[in-house]
Amino acid sequence: MEANLRWALVTATAPIAFGTTYFVTHQYLPAGYPFYGAAIRALPAGLLLLLVHRRLPTGSWWWRSMVLGSLNMGAFFALIYLAAQLLPTSIASTIMATSPVGLMLMAWAALAERPKAAHLAGAGIGVAGVCLMLLSGPVAIDFRGVLASVAAMTMSSLGYVLAKKWSAGIDVFSLTSWQLIAGGVLLVPAAVLVEGGPPPVDGRSLLAFGYVTVVATAIAFSAWFTGLRHLSAGTVGLIGLLNPVTGVLLGTAIAGETLGARQICGLVLVLIGVLLGQPAVQSWLRAVRGAEARPPGVAPRPRSLHDSRGKG
């Protein structure tokens, strides 16, 4: 249980960092350059991780890196950049909170990881909170940004499940760096063809790109893929609900976006959804249900003969 809690805390740093990218992109990065913005985010981060753990792909990992880089980094980053420019910070990050449902369904189909009842309940409560926050806010919504967010969520859910399925025997730094480099390599020609010359940048933009590249990409994705390796996809997906919580709080506290009473209720539901997906909470719920099912004064039945006799 302590190990699960440790991996959950490591994983949680990823969606918190992801949630900050909406604010940073919306406030400090040049608008109208989603491909360049995504390439500048992905390629330097991948090269940085490659320097940390110098290992190149071999065999099937050359094409697997291209597939995962396209799903998890290339197209995903471009769509997220576009959504962050079209939507308020709180709304852009909130839509991505529906990703636990997609991640659970993808993991069920590809990995035979059947979601637990607590995962489904957490996802349902979390998505209800998302809907409450998204549909009741006073801010106008650009549905092009909504479509970009939904597309990014779907692609990344498939990519995360494939990464979990394929990553046995590959260290997390190499797995992450290969995807980032592959995604960046695919983005550069797309940026040149679609957007022409690179975007104009000033000192603030350079600092923002540095933060997004190092903290919200290299470090965050290393933590995220570590969580996928040690925890179930359902648990990791629900931890991802911290992404919109971060985005909403930043949008409200710093960007001056309005947070109404219904959105606060939605935020609380999202946090409940995250907690329901954690193994420690699930163990506690099972213990409570077992205690309620036993007649008063009856001790719990030992799990096995070995358990009933103790160690040795």
pLDDT range class, residue 256, cuts 50, 70, 90: low
Please state the rounded mean pLDDT for residues 284-301: 59
The pLDDT of residue 177: 95
Distance CA 44, CA 77 (A): 14
For residue 194, pLDDT over 70 is answered with: yes
Give every CB contact of residue 6 below 8 A, 6+ residues apart in sequence. Answer: none
Distance CA 62, CA 252 (A): 43
Identity of residue 106: M
Which residues lie closer than 8 Å to 50 by C-beta, 6 or more apart? 174, 177, 181
154 contact partners, CB below 8 Å, separation of at least 6: 102
* Amino acid code (one letter) for 230: H
Which has the higher per-residue pLDDT, 261 or 215? Answer: 215
Better pLDDT: 88 or 150:
150
Kindly state the helix (H) or strand (E) to which residue 274 belongs, with its residue range.
helix 261-276
> pLDDT band at residue 216, thresholds of 50, 70 and 90?
very high
Q: How many CB atoms lie within 10 A of CB 193?
A: 9
- Give the model confidence (pLDDT) of 100-153 as tens digits: 666 777 777 666 667 777 767 777 777 777 677 666 555 567 788 888 888 888
For residues 220 and 81, the model is more confident at 220
Average pLDDT, integer, range 68-95: 81
Cα distances from 211 to residues 28, 45, 153, in angstroms, run 11, 10, 22
pLDDT band at residue 305 under the 50/70/90 scheme = very low
Least confident of 97-101, 228-232, 260-264, 304-308: 304-308
Q: Which of 28, 107, 41, 25 is nearest to 74 (CA)?
A: 41
- pLDDT value for 307: 47
* Least confident range of 11-25, 45-59, 243-257: 243-257
For a pLDDT cut of 70, what percent of the chain falls above it? 73
Task: Identify which of 78, 8, 17, 6 has the alpha carbon closest to the alpha carbon of residue 214.
Answer: 17
The pLDDT assigned to 7 comes to: 86
- Summarize pLDDT for 147-187 with one digit per residue, the tens: 888 888 888 888 888 888 888 888 989 999 999 999 999 99
- Alpha-helical (H) ranges within 167-260 are 172-195, 203-213, 220-230, 233-239, 242-253
Token duo for residue 98: 């529906």
Q: Residue 201 is inside which H or E element, if any?
A: none
CA atoms within 13 A on the CB side of 85: 17
pLDDT at residue 117, as a whole number? 73
pLDDT class of 193 with cuts at 50, 70, 90: very high
Going by C-alpha positions, the residue among 283, 265, 192 that lies closest to residue 5 is 283
pLDDT digits (tens, 9 = 90+) for 23-81: 888 888 888 898 998 899 999 999 999 998 889 999 999 999 999 999 989 888 888 88
| pLDDT tens by residue, 201-211 | 899 999 999 99
φ/ψ (deg, to 5) at 241: -65, -15
Query: What is the structure's pLDDT at 279?
Result: 60
Grouping H, G, I as helix, E, B as strand and the rest as coil, residue 14 is: helix
Phi–psi pair at 242, nearest 5 degrees? -70, -15
**Half-sphere exposure at residue 217, Cβ-oriented, CA atoms within 13 angstroms:** 36
Chain centroid to CA 34: 19
